[in-house]
């Protein structure tokens, strides 16, 4: 895994309008190599983006909203006319099929002295680095098994489905939206493969490897063919004179 990654997010966001270049991005390959999975999508958190909207005398949090790509664009709003954030849940929106739902929330990432991305090579610090820089969609599936659960739910995503995501800055003191990003580009989870389609080879094969594999296969075939020929020859070889035939001259002589 790589040991360097630079977080580039120094643009500021207006109070209510999203910068056209700001949207949730899938995690950098230096931080996670298996993305997306069948049910999980790892997103990068935004740094130094909402600073212009923060008041030191208030508290803030970041809401993550998610919806399926097939949801109507008319239902993609995440706040009402009074700027109150949308409270729709995973269950109420059919897992994002009918519109966005609040998947989770986390504190506003600080720009002051964040953990160094290079620390990801240190096994004692990797958990802190990933938690600081990444957000994992599909972190808790227990809410799916409670029919009366109406709180924030971040369950596993469905395989082979496309989702969009949005970060929203919430003024926790007043309970209103203070800023938001654009919806992310479509991000698709992986498709379930049939057993015959699963490639167990650890890495892509080069042309030379294919040639060597073919030659070894031919040699193995010839070796087996030679062994089988030897066995058949030994089995079908005519035997010597039988004991009965050998005893005939002796009887005649007597």
Interval 66-86: pLDDT, tens: 999 887 666 788 999 999 999
pLDDT of res. 83: 93
169, 176, 159, 153: which is closest to 66 by C-alpha? 153
Tell me how crowded residue 157 is: count the other CB atoms within 10 A of its CB: 25
- Rounded Cα distance, 72 and 65, in Å: 15
**6 vs 161, more confident:** 161
* The pLDDT value given to residue 73: 65
Q: Tell me the CB-side half-sphere exposure of residue 73, using CA atoms within 13 A.
A: 2
* Residue 184 pLDDT greater than 60, yes or no: yes
Neighbours of 205 (CB within 10 A): 12
* DSSP character at residue 201: -
The per-residue pLDDT for 201 is 54
* CA-based R_g, the chain, Å: 33
Q: Which residues contact 95 (CB under 8 A, 6 or more apart)?
A: 68, 101, 155, 158
According to the model, what pLDDT value does residue 102 have? 92
pLDDT at 17 over 60: no
So what's the pLDDT on residue 204?
56
Percent of the chain residues topping a pLDDT of 90: 20
Condensed to tens digits (0 to 9), the pLDDT of residues 40-69 reads: 898 988 877 777 778 888 889 999 999 998
Q: Which residue has the tokens 């700001």?
A: 22
Task: State the pLDDT at residue 238.
Answer: 62
What does the angle CA 82 – CA 85 – CA 91 come to, to the nearest 5 degrees?
135
């Amino acid at each position: 895994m790589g040991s360097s990654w630079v977080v580039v997010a120094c643009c500021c966001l207006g109070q209510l309008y999203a910068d056209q270049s700001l949207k949730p991005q899938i995690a950098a390959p230096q931080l996670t190599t298996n993305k997306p999975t069948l049910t999980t999508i790892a997103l990068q958190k935004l740094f130094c983006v909402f600073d212009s909207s923060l008041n030191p005398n208030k508290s803030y949090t970041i809401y993550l909203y998610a919806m399926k790509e097939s949801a109507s664009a008319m239902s993609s709003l995440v706040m009402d006319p009074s700027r109150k954030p949308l409270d729709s849940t995973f269950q109420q929106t059919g897992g994002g099929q009918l519109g966005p739902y609040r998947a989770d929330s986390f504190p506003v990432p600080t720009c002051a002295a964040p953990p160094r991305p290079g620390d990801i090579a240190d096994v004692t610090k990797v958990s802190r680095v990933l938690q600081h820089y990444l957000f994992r969609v599909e972190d808790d599936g227990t809410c799916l098994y409670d029919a009366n659960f109406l709180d924030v739910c971040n369950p596993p995503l469905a395989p082979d489905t496309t989702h969009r995501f949005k970060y929203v800055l919430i003024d926790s003191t007043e309970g209103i939206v203070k800023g938001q990003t654009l919806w992310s580009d479509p991000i698709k989870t992986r498709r379930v493969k049939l057993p015959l389609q699963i490639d167990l080879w650890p890495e892509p094969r080069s042309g030379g490897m294919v040639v060597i594999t073919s030659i070894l296969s031919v040699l193995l075939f010839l070796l087996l063919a030679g062994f089988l020929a030897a066995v058949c020859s030994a089995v079908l070889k005519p035997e010597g004179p039988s004991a009965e035939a050998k005893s005939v001259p002796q009887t005649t002589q007597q």
